[in-house]
Structure 1
């Protein structure tokens, strides 16, 4: 942590005025360093009262803060490092780079915006500074593939539970990795694994997430108006990005080791069960009814010809939305 982050941490965790001398002693830095940190924080939008006997934090700006995110973590949360980036080509690429460099910390990469945001199948998506959440979580399990949790399923459940906990809104999951609200997509999840050829284990897991928090509905392109929306489509969020990020991560680690509860919630929040779906396999289109999601997170479809198929991956389309 930088001196600025450490000073902010002290101010945010204190209910009383803190003297510059006391902060300097606690952080083993000079009072000048504390003063410079205070000035930098004020330039970034933090409201800090200057009293004769010290400083007190009055208000924080709505910007991404590694310190604030960490402070909101629960005991179950296993993230060791939070990296906040002003801009990123892709937080997935940032996480991959860290994995290649053998970073062993469980790290959360969060960006104000992404310049080359992409989801599944390399599709671009709308990325708006301060109006969306763009993050990737790097985990280093070093386990056999068969020993791993269903990370995409867990993250999907974490997102809908976090939304419910903070806003009361009931989001749903479109198999396998999209989150919907009021019949339109608000979030996409992308998971990738990196293996160690020497041990034949999964060394790294990267789970990326793009979330439309408060992009005004009118700002979506015409072709996405009926397909995409935001958690706050009026552009006026009642929660901060820091709060939602922390809550999603808290819920993720809460459900990570509870596979049966997680898959039950995944089914409960399904956007597709009971609906007519279509999908392509080997250049052939299939149509049927999504009837269940098994304990492996696979979608079970009763086809119109009377047969049944089990989908472990891929993409489905709904005949009707909503």
Structure 2
């Protein structure tokens, strides 16, 4: 641990004011080294109060791998990146590098974010959450959609608890607040061809955390928002990340609960929807979500079951 990391850990460990002299004696360094380390931490965005009697840490929205790792109830490794082309790709590469799973990769900025059908989404440095989890579930391939559904419930529950809202889930993987998208989830599988089983699953997501509403591009102003569109969050990204994954692993251990919650939070059940399948447009009413996360649509003369991998809803009324 560097002097800077030791000072940060010590400041985070207490609400008391710590003098430069006390820190220097405790860490066996000079007062000048303490002062320089404090300045370096502040340049990174940490908020440290300077008082006549010393220093005190203020809650700072800086992604912290140690804080995230120690507060998630499931043992896992955490990597925090300043920037990433795609945390999904980072997770894929970690398999090639033979890194241990479960592995959570979190980026402060994602340069080439994408969702289902490789669609891009809006990302802003230090105002979003961009992360992917690498898991080794050893389940059959048909189980994949359920991870997406379960993850959507975990994200929605964590958001509701922190914001005091009732978020909704647009089938299959988007989180909405007040009719606007605030988060998207994507799951990908890495399979063992010989056994037709999942070798790894990667669950990624992008969450608009504190992007001011006026900063969204004009073409998505009416469709997208962030959890804190006034730019003044009541929690840190670390805290929300920790809660999301604790919710996820709790639901994963008790899978009988998540489908009921998913259906309860559905943005589409009971509504008229339009979709395209094999170049043909359809219009019907979403009437059910199956136990494997598929959407059942009543077309009037027949019912059609839609898979999330092949269908994108074009309108919801």
TM-score normalised to the size of structure 1? 0.86
Counterpart in the other structure of 1:9? 9
Q: How does 1:1-322 map to 2 (within 5 A)?
A: 4-5=4-5, 7-14=7-14, 17=18, 19-20=22-23, 24=27, 31=29, 35=34, 38=38, 40-44=40-44, 45-47=46-48, 57-73=56-72, 75=73, 77-78=74-75, 80-145=76-141, 150-197=146-193, 200-304=196-300, 306-313=301-308, 314-320=311-317
* Structure 1 pair 224–147 and aligned structure 2 pair: CA distance change class (3 A): closer
User: In the TM superposition, what whole-angstrom CA distance separates every residue of 1:1-48 from its partner, at most 9, and x where no partner exists?
Assistant: 766445533432345559547854xxxxx6469846555334433416
Whole-Å separation in 1 of the counterparts to 2:214 and 2:144: 41
Whole-Å separation in 1 of the counterparts to 2:133 and 2:33: 32
Confirm or deny: 8 A CA contact 1:149 1:256 kept in the other structure: no
Please provide the CA RMSD for this pair. Answer: 2.6
* Structure 1 pair 31–105 and aligned structure 2 pair: CA distance change class (3 A): farther
* Structure 1 pair 59–319 and aligned structure 2 pair: CA distance change class (3 A): closer
Confirm or deny: 8 A CA contact 1:192 1:206 kept in the other structure: yes
Confirm or deny: 8 A CA contact 1:293 1:300 kept in the other structure: yes
* Structure 1 pair 91–127 and aligned structure 2 pair: CA distance change class (3 A): same
Whole-Å separation in 1 of the counterparts to 2:47 and 2:92: 33
User: In the TM superposition, what whole-angstrom CA distance separates every residue of 1:154-198 from its partner, at most 9, and x where no partner exists?
Assistant: 110011100111111111000001111111111110110112346
Confirm or deny: 8 A CA contact 2:12 2:57 kept in the other structure: no
Which deviates more, 218-227 or 258-267? 218-227
* Structure 1 pair 169–307 and aligned structure 2 pair: CA distance change class (3 A): same
Counterpart in the other structure of 1:27? none
In the comparison of the two structures, how many residue pairs are matched? 309
Whole-Å separation in 2 of the counterparts to 1:246 and 1:81: 13
Which deviates more, 10-19 or 282-291? 10-19
Confirm or deny: 8 A CA contact 1:189 1:210 kept in the other structure: yes
Listed as ranges, the gaps of 5+ residues in structure 2 are none
User: In the TM superposition, what whole-angstrom CA distance separates every residue of 1:57-84 from its partner, at most 9, and x where no partner exists?
Assistant: 42143221223323432x3x34x22111
TM-score normalised to the size of structure 2? 0.87
Q: Cα offset for 1:114?
A: 1.1
User: In the TM superposition, what whole-angstrom CA distance separates every residue of 1:203-238 from its partner, at most 9, and x where no partner exists?
Assistant: 211111011112122112222122111112222222
